[in-house]
Structure 1
Amino acid sequence: MQVKIDTKEKFHVITPIETALTATMTDDMEAALLPFLQNDVKNVVLDLQQVQGVDTAAAAKLLQIQQKFYENNASFVSCNIQKNVNAFLADSELDDLLNIAPTESEAWDIVQMEEIERDLLDTEDIEFSETDE
């Protein structure tokens, strides 16, 4: 899977160059996205502006990848989804499960909010552990 990568301060914008995400690409998707979990900046915004079609296996793989990011305290937000792809995700009932923002700017807002939320939860965990002692 060919992608364009744009690194920002708190996240990477990954833009697939492909016009379709298919079942045969699921391993490539995982190989392209999961290594970002090893970086200092782990958050990913997946910009799907070029993608005109997604099949069920690829959509399910995106959901699995998203879950791996959240399990590793990192954000994964998809944005710029074309109308036909959005309709497919809605028909497949995956649109409510995937973290989707209309634009890259709104995806960045989600990443920022999730970073703040993680920081607050980490602070609460520290405060609770100190009062337990």
Structure 2
Amino acid sequence: MEVKIDTKEKFTVVTPMGSPITDNIAATIANNCKSYLQNDVKNVILNLSNVTSLEEKAAETLASLQQDFYEQSVSFVICCLQPEAEDVFEKAGVLDMLNVTPTESEAWDIVQMEEIERELLDGDDITFEQND
């Protein structure tokens, strides 16, 4: 399957260019996305605007991929989910676990907000000395 890759300053947008997404294709997408965890730009947005059909196991694989990213303190957002694909995620019982936005622009916003949140949380490690 052809996949379009667009790297920005804070994230990479991965866009599969067709349907259906089978379990094997989802595994390939997952492996490719995991490789970004080794890059300077680690956050990934998966744009599913061209995907109208996917297998239930593929939906589970993509949901697991998102969890892998968040365990590494890195953003993974799915955007532009078509109704047919959304139904499969729902049927697989993973839709509520996903970070999904209607548009790619909103996904960009989520990644940037999560980046700011991580920076602020990292700043909580500062300790203050109390003078008596």
For the criterion TM > 0.5, the same-fold answer is yes
Task: Establish whether residue 63 from structure 1 lines up as the match of residue 48 from structure 2.
Answer: no
TM-score (normalised: structure 2) = 0.90
Q: Percent identity?
A: 48
Mind listing any 5+ residue stretches in structure 2 that lack a counterpart? Answer: none
How far does the alpha carbon of each residue in 1:76-128 deviate from its partner, in whole angstroms, 9 at most, with x for none? 00001111111222233221111100000000111011001100110002x14
SS across alignment from 2:114:
helix
Question: 2:10 touches 2:41 (CA, 8 Å); kept in 1?
Answer: yes
Dislocated runs of 4+, deviation >3 Å: none
Following superposition of structure 1 onto structure 2, how do residues 34-73 of structure 1 map, counting pairs within 5 Å? 34-73=34-73
Per the alignment, in what secondary structure is the counterpart of residue 78 of structure 1?
strand
C-alpha distance in 2, partners of 1:26/1:84?
16
Provide the rounded CA distance (Å) in 1 between the counterparts of 2:41 and 2:23: 28
Counterparts of 1:27-106 in structure 2, within 5 Å, are 27-106=27-106
Report the TM-score when normalising by structure 1.
0.90
Paired residues for 1:5-20 under 5 Å: 5-20=5-20
* Paired residue secondary structure (2:4): strand
Q: Counterpart of 2:63 in structure 1: which amino acid?
A: L
SS in 1 for 2:95: coil
- CA displacement at 1:2 relative to structure 2: 2.7
Q: Encode CA deviations 1:41-61: one digit per residue, 9 max, x unaligned.
A: 100000001111121211111
Gapped runs of 5+ residues in structure 1? none
Q: CA RMSD in A?
A: 1.7
Work out whether 1:119 is the aligned partner of 2:119.
yes
Cα distance between partner residues in 1 of 2:53 and 2:94: 14
**Number of equivalent positions:** 130
CA distance in 1, matches of 2:87, 2:27: 24
